[in-house]
Amino acid sequence: MSGALDAHFEAMLAAAARDAQPMPPLSEVPPEMVRAGYRAQRTGQNALTSPAEVQARDLRVGGAAGPLPARLYAPPDAASRCGGLVYFHGGGFVIGDLDTHDAHCRRLALYSGQRVLAVDYRLAPEHPFPAAHDDALAATRWAFDHAAEIGFDPDRIGVGGDSAGGNLAASVALDLRGDAGRRLRLQLLLYPATWPAEETLSRRERDGPVLSKAAMAFFETALAFAGHPQALRAAPARVADLAGAPPAVIVTAGHDPLEHEGRDYAAQLRAAGVAARHVSYPTLVHDFFIMGDVSPAVIAAARQTGAAIGEALGRTEPAPPR
């Protein structure tokens, strides 16, 4: 159940409402303009709390249709080989990039003590489904195959993402179940979109804050996965058999239309015999992880999430039989 909205986010939303200008529907705005606005907003909400001590370098990784931009983050004093998280940013499959999530990925690396590889997958509507899902899968395979080059221990690799990126991480986790040479140790799903067969109460009754019904409809239309032969890759909650998926940490926010589908997906995984931990932040909103300057609660949540990553990927254990 949702708690009272965090006072800092309440003040942010009130200020935004006061300053709001009439805007056309998202479908009438060029995608690059929507992306630029989101980039300016989110980078401006993360400037003060971005950990400068985390080293970052840009590189290219293998995507489904060619090389993709990516950014590798290493915490201070990282070992030459440590656990690694392949990370996919959120943004409804339409917006978001390496810069919108830069401070967030730096925090995950710092607080986990592991490396993070952020992947800039192809975006809709220019690249509809399954382009992003294919890129996420290809990039994760690339991380396994090039682990030595990027400082990953191939026996301690996980996938993660927020919102649409959480959907991609969940999809990759299922796609790799039968790959004996690439065994994931973690799927980190931050307020993920899982598209259950039936609309959840939180999706039905909540129109925002941050994530509106209109925005969700726009993103779903842009992704264009409905009716596709591979549509289940975009709707992990509709997959009948989730057995064999890697352990999961699923984080939800109380003031978020996606709250219940993240919570329920954790329950589905547990019912299938998968170790799945659900962590709820009842006073927070969708997208909170990339608004670090707004509230101290974001940094606290990032620390807790980083600790969960470190627990899953930071221990050296015997590799499972292959």
- Catalytic residue positions, numbered: 163, 256, 286
Please, which residues bridge with residue 70 across strands?
A: 59, 119
Report yes or no: 195 and 153 within 8 Å, Cβ to Cβ: no
Report yes or no: 87 and 161 within 8 Å, Cβ to Cβ: yes
List the structure tokens of 270.
């547990």
Please name the amino acid found at residue 253.
Answer: A
Please give the Cα distance from 45 to 208 (Å, whole number): 18
Strand segments (E) across 1-141: 55-62, 67-74, 82-88, 115-119
- The total number of residues shown for the chain amounts to 322
Omega before residue 69 within 30° of 0, cis: no
Strand 152-162: give its sheet, edge to edge.
Answer: 55-62, 67-74, 115-119, 82-88, 152-162, 186-190, 248-255, 276-285
Report yes or no: 95 and 121 within 8 Å, Cβ to Cβ: no
Q: Quick one: how far is CA 219 from the chain centroid?
A: 15
Report yes or no: 97 and 88 within 8 Å, Cβ to Cβ: no
Going by C-alpha positions, the residue among 215, 195, 197, 196 that lies closest to residue 206 is 215
